[in-house]
Amino acid sequence: MNAKTLLSLALTGLVALVCAKPCRIVWTEGTTDPETGKTVHTMTIQNPPAGTDWTLWFSQFRTPVTMLDGARADILHHGGTLYRVAPKEDTRGKEMVLRYEARALVNQCRAPEGFHLQVQGKKPVPVEVEYVFLPAEPVHTFDYKPADLTAYDMVPRLKKVDFAEGTMPVPDDVPVRYVEGRQPGWYRLTLGDNPVIEAADGDGAYYASVTLENLRRNAGGQQVPKAVVEDWPDLPYRGIMLDVSRNFTKKDDILKLIDILAHYKVNRLHLHFGDDEGWRVEMDGLPELTSYGAYRGIPTLNEDGTISEPDALMYTYCVTPDRNDTKTTGNGFYTKADYIDILKYADSRHMLVIPEFDIPGHSRAAVKSMEYRFRTTGDATYRLWDPEDTSKYNSAQDYCDNVIDVSLPSTYAFIAKVFDNLIALHAEAGVPLEAVHIGGDEVPDGSWEGSPSCRALMAANGVTDVAWLKDYFTNRVLDIAEARGVKIAGWQEVAQNLQPATYERVKRNLGFTNFWAVSRGRDKIGYTFANDGIPVVLSNSSNAYFDLAYNWSKTERGHSWAGFIDERRSFSFLPYDLYKSVRWDDKGRPTDLAAASEGKPALTPQGKPFIIGVQGQLWSETLRCFDHVTYYLFPKALGLFERGWNASPAWAGTTRPDDPDFVADFDRFFTTVVEHEYPYYEDLGISWHRH
C-alpha cells in the first residue's frame, strides 16, 4: 500500500469521524385506545451506533412495556425507574423506530428522561431528546370573588383583631411581656400609643414578631389601623415533610425554605433523608452511607444481562446519572456540620427538625451501602442483607431488594448506630430531638419468606407466620429507643398489625404517627388511632400530598395516584371532620358531604386531643430543582398552614360543598394569597404556581 493510498484512507476516516452525527432520540406520545385503554408510544433512535454492543439507558416512571411485533430492540426494566434499550440486530447506524405499548402518559413530566448511550467498553454519553407530546391545555379548577382586605389579612388568619381609632406606622421594636395561664403559642399584640406584645411563651413572642413582619410587608410602608390582635395556634404540630432522598435539596435551599415556612408559623420540618434512592446525612462510623449511598451512576451491565452498582446506586428519578455531577439533584448529602446548621437555623425560627430514615422497607440505599462496605472492607458488622435470601417481592416503587433483613443482629447494630449519630448531632446543635422517625411503611408482601436467617429465628421462637417478624423488629427497635430515652415516630403502618403487647409498647414510645392513606376505606385509621390514644399528625394524601399535581392538565408537574390538590382542596381540609375534607372531586364535581362519614368512626371527645397536628408531604420523585420544590408547595400548602392554625372554621359543619360560608371564607383566603403572598414570592425570586 503506497503513501497516497494510506493518505486517502486516513482522510476518509477523518471525514467519517467529523461527519458522524450524534445519537439522538425523538420520543412521541401515543394516543390511548378508548376501547382497550392501551397506548402505543414511539421511541425513534436517530444515528444509533452500528452493531449490537451498545445499550441506551434511561429513567421512566414504572410501567409495563410490551414491544410491538418487528421491534429491532427490547426495552428492559432493571428496577425502580431504570430501563434500557437493548438492540436485537445491527441497524448499521440507521434510524431505529421502536413502538411499544405502555400506560397512558398522565402528564408530561412522567415521560422517559435521562437518556445515556453506552457502547461496550466506553463511558456513557448523554443523548439529546426531542419530545412530541399530544396537545394539552391548561386547566382552570376554581373561581373566586376578590374580597376587600386590610394589612391584617395574612396566612394563617389572625384569630381576633379589634380595631381602634386612628392609624400608625408598624413599629420596629415592640417590648415583650410574658403572662401566665395562656395556652402554648398564645400572644396578644397591641398596636396603639404604647405598643406591646404579651406572650404565653417564647413561641408566642416569636409568632407575634412574624405577625409584625407580615403587617409591615402588607402595608408596603403605609400606616396601619391601630388594633389589638389576639392569636394562637389550634394545633401544636404544623409541618412540612420534604423528601430529600429521591432528589436532594441542598443546605442553602433548605435554609431558604425554612425562612418561607417560618413566615407561615410552621413549626416542624420533617426531613425524609433515608429511602431506596439515597441516604443524605453523614453518619460517624458509617461513611459508606454517604460516600456510596448519596450518589447515583450508570450501572455496570453484566454478560448475563443483570447489572452491578460498583461505586454508586443505579440512577433513578434523576436526569444526570453521573456521581461526579454536583449540580444534579440525584447526588449530594448533608455533612454533620450542614445538618447542625440546619437544626440551629430552624430552631432560631422556632421550628424543630424531624429526621427520618425509613426501615425496614424503603431501605435500598442503606442495604446497598452496607453491601458496598462489606464488599470493600469485609466488615459485616452493619450488614443488612442475608446473601442466601431468596425472597421474591416487588415494592411499591418497583424494587426487589429494598427490605432490611430483620433477623440479623447486624441490622440492630446499624439502627443503634444511626440513633446514636442523630442523638449526638442534635445534642451538639443544642436542639431537641423530638423523635426519630423510622418510617415503617409499605413493606412488600413476600419480604423475608426466603431468608434462612428469618426462618431460623422463627423456628427458635416456635412461630411459623412471617407476620410475627414485624413484632420482633418493632420490639428490637423499641429496645434501642427506650435505652436511649428517645421517642420514635412513623407512618401509620408503624402501629398497625401488631400483637396487643407490642401495640401497647408502641403507644408508650410513640411521639406521633403520620396518618396518610385514605383510599380503599383507610380514611378511618386516623380517628381510630386518636380515639385509642395514639398521637396523630394528619398527613392524608387527599389534602396534604403536595407532590400531587395542581390539576389534571398534562402540562402540570406532579403525581396523580391520589388525585390532584390545588389551593381550594388544601383549604378544605378539616382536622376534626376529616371525612368532609374533599368538597369537590378531582374533576371539580361536588361531592356528597352528607354521606361522607357514613359507617366510619367519629372522632370522640377523648380522641380529639390526640389529633396533635397536620403535615404536608412533598415527595420528590418528580422534582428536579429547587424551583420545583417551591412551585409544588406555594401557594398549594397555604390551605394546610391555615388549617393547622385555625382548625375549626365556621363552615366546618356544612354539607353543601358551595355553602355560602365556605365560599366567602375561601374568597377572602385566596384574595389574601393573590394580593399579599404573590408579591412576597415575587420579592423572594422563587418559582410558584399562578392560578
Query: The dihedral of CA 310, 313, 314, 318: what is its sign?
Result: negative
In eight-state DSSP terms, residue 594 is G
DSSP-assigned letter for residue 138: -
DSSP 3-state assignment of 284?
coil
Query: 48-82 burial by CB neighbour count: b if 16+ within 10 A, else e?
Result: bbeebebbbbbbbbebebeeeeebbbebeebbbbb
Which residue, among 640, 644, 628, has the nearest Cα to 689 in the 3D structure? 628
Report CA-CA distances (Å) from 170 to 176, 181, 226, 255: 16, 28, 9, 27
Pick from 350, 345, 303, 296: nearest CA to 324 = 296
Closest CA to 118 of 46, 52, 62, 21: 52
Within 10 A of 303 (CB to CB), how many other CB atoms are there? 5
Q: Is 621 a catalytic residue?
A: no
Side-chain half-sphere CA neighbours of 465 within 13 A: 8
Which set of grid coordinates corresponds to residue 403? 427490605
128 vs 206: CA distance, rounded Å: 50
Distance between CA atoms of residues 228 and 630, nearest Å: 33
The angle at the Cα of 232, spanning 226 to 237, to the nearest 5 degrees, equals 145
Burial class (CB in 10 A: 0-12, 13-18, 19+), 99: middle
Tell me how far apart the alpha carbons of residues 305 and 30 are, in angstroms, rounded to a whole number: 29
What's the CA gap between 117 and 123, in Å, rounded? 9
Q: Is 106 helix (H, G, I), strand (E, B) or coil?
A: coil
Cell numbers standing for residue 511: 411521639
Q: Which of 48, 38, 42 is nearest to 27 (CA)?
A: 42
Contacts of 384 (CB under 8 A, 6+ apart): 363, 366, 367, 370, 371, 404, 405, 408, 410, 411, 414
Cα gap 364→362, rounded to integer Å: 6
Q: Which of 101, 213, 428, 442 is catalytic?
A: 442
Task: Show which residues are catalytic.
Answer: 442
